[in-house]
Structure 1
Amino acid sequence: MRPPIDSGTVLITGACSGIGRELARQLAHRARTLVLVSQTVERLEALRDELQLSNPTLGVVLLACDMSRPGEVGDMLAELSRHFLSVDVLVSAASVAEPGLFAEQRWGCIERMLMANVVAPLLLARRLLGPMLARGRGGLLYVSSGAGQLFLPGAATYAATRRCLDGFIESLRLELEGTPICVTQVAPGPVDDTRARAVGGLQGTRPFFEVSAAQCAREALAGFERGVPLVYPGRGHRWVMTLLPRLPRAVRRVLGRRVARALHPPAGAETPVLPEGSRGPLEAGPSLA
């Protein structure tokens, strides 16, 4: 069964940038209503105007919600009820990525990643899944990350949140077999996002196998409509991620160890400085995804 995108109501978190924004653009000519969610409504207004200009009959609802605050997620869902909107498809694309050595990170940063990347997606699914089952139609599309399959020194918490989400999505999909609910996870590698590269200290570089956010969104929707459980956007990334599980765990540790060594420069070496403001949260374009 295909997800009810056409003439349906699609809720997109992290819609202000990156993959979330591209998904909104590619869904605008098909959905009846798009509910676009970001930390502030102002960041969504230009996108709303763009979408309605090319799709005059499209309904667009803008909602502010900090996904790292579960209380705000509940308030956002309550606002949907006040608009008498029933969500047919959830596109969970918001995320927070704050790189750093675990022992040096502030607990507030760690907690924000856990809340936005794990708690919020589960809370949304818990609140929206029941009504979907009752109506006999629905879809859940999660934008996760290939980082969930990797050992990532310097991003231990982020990798952990992605691995947790991977386990949840795969298990939920099995629970929902035989129901009309479609569940797909998208696990991209490096995505073309200048802001994300700046946060990762990679400005001026283009990571191997990088794909555009538009291509990622396009392949995500194609896989979602075919009922594919897991989508790896980009041929090169897909090849690597298919090969990765076949490598012995010891080999993957060796690869991770090389990354770890780069995080500990020799005594006296100059420590790279991230650009000012680069430690803030990212939506729908994590520096490591």
Structure 2
Amino acid sequence: MRPPIDSGTVLITGASSGIGREIARQLARRARTIVLVARRVERMEELREELHARNPTLGVVVERCDLSHPEEVDSLLDSLHRHLVQVDVLVNNAGLGDYSLYEEESWSRIHQMLQVNVTAPVLLAHRLLRRMVERGRGGILNISSGGARVFVPGLAVYTGTKRFLDGFTEALRLELLGTGVVVTQVAPGPVETEFSEVAGTQEQQERAPSWLRISAAQCASEALEGFERAVPLVYPGFAYRWMMRLSSLVPRPVMRAGGLVAARKLRHDTSLLEPGHPDARLGERLLLAGGPDGH
């Protein structure tokens, strides 16, 4: 069973940069219509021109939407319904995170992450899935994170939301077997996007060996390849894929011990910052996977 990408309508959240933008580029010659969803309209308009250059017959719909506000998600879907846009494939790519000690987080940041990483993909799937099942064809591609499978001090809320997406996707996939709707989860590791720069996690990203890092284009390509084969879980990148498979054999206490080292370093580094230092509140650095809109 394959998701109806060819000559279908694909909705991509977080489409203005990073993995979302690359998925749009790679689907430009195949899809009938691509719906780009993000906050940065300028970037999406530029991408629309690029996609039209690749495929002049492609329909490209640009929808500005702040996914941290469920009412805007509802408005987006209502707008598509009014314009008779029938979504065949949903790509939940947008994601937010924040690198900080948890007690330093503001509730507004935490709430924003929960809305974008949990509420938005669940709401979109709920509103679109029934019609996919009725038609007997459809697809949902959820871009999660390798962080859902490990312990990452400093990203407690982010990894927590990705663990939710992991469990949600796995259970949903089982429910939909035999319905014609394909569900795949992608759990990337170090991908060369704006993620670390905006997050303030460049140091951690740079410490990752070069053989472990991949480009956003490679990540998108492997994600789509796995999706078309109806693979339940995709780890993009050969070295990273084997590292994650082996990590599943590591006992939980050992993983905790490794996480404890990182946690102590984070707390120590934070305590050294003087009040008023630009980084004194790490939580003020918003982590947006691939920028303000997606991975």
Report the TM-score, using the length of structure 1 for normalisation: 0.93
Give deviations 1:128-152, integer Å, cap 9, x for gaps: 0001011111000011100001111
TM superposition shift of 1:27:
0.4
Matched with 1:245 is: 248
1:43-122 aligned at under 5 Å gives the runs 43-122=43-122
State the identity %: 55
Matched with 2:19 is: 19
**Which deviates the most, 185-194 or 276-285?**
276-285
d(CA) in 2 for partners of 1:250, 1:151: 11
Matched with 1:256 is: 259
- Is the aligned partner of 1:231 residue 2:237? no
Matched with 1:125 is: 125
CA distance 1:268–1:188, shift in 2 (3 Å): closer
TM superposition shift of 1:279:
2.0
Which structure has more RCO (C-alpha within 8 Å, separation ≥ 6)?
2
d(CA) in 2 for partners of 1:180, 1:99: 39
CA distance 1:185–1:14, shift in 2 (3 Å): same
Look up the SS of the partner of 1:139 in the other structure: strand
TM superposition shift of 1:194:
4.1
Question: Contact 1:16–1:283 (CA<8 Å) still a contact in 2?
Answer: no
**Which deviates the most, 145-154 or 34-43?**
34-43
Matched with 1:138 is: 138
- Amino acid across the alignment from 1:210: R
CA distance 1:198–1:84, shift in 2 (3 Å): closer
Look up the SS of the partner of 2:116 in the other structure: helix
d(CA) in 2 for partners of 1:65, 1:119: 14
Gaps of 5+ in 2: none
Size of the aligned set, in residue pairs, is 287
- Amino acid across the alignment from 1:280: L
- Amino acid across the alignment from 1:233: P
TM superposition shift of 1:198:
4.4
Matched with 2:157 is: 157
Matched with 1:214 is: 217
CA distance 1:217–1:39, shift in 2 (3 Å): same
- Is the aligned partner of 1:188 residue 2:188? yes
d(CA) in 2 for partners of 1:30, 1:124: 23
Question: Contact 2:117–2:162 (CA<8 Å) still a contact in 1?
Answer: yes
Question: Contact 2:99–2:201 (CA<8 Å) still a contact in 1?
Answer: no
Look up the SS of the partner of 2:191 in the other structure: coil
d(CA) in 1 for partners of 2:39, 2:134: 30
TM superposition shift of 1:174:
0.6
- Amino acid across the alignment from 2:165: L
Question: Contact 2:18–2:194 (CA<8 Å) still a contact in 1?
Answer: no
Report the TM-score, using the length of structure 2 for normalisation: 0.91
Question: Contact 1:198–1:274 (CA<8 Å) still a contact in 2?
Answer: no
Gaps of 5+ in 1: none
d(CA) in 2 for partners of 1:201, 1:274: 12
Kindly report the root-mean-square deviation, in angstroms, between the aligned alpha carbons of the 2 structures. Answer: 2.3
CA distance 1:252–1:40, shift in 2 (3 Å): same
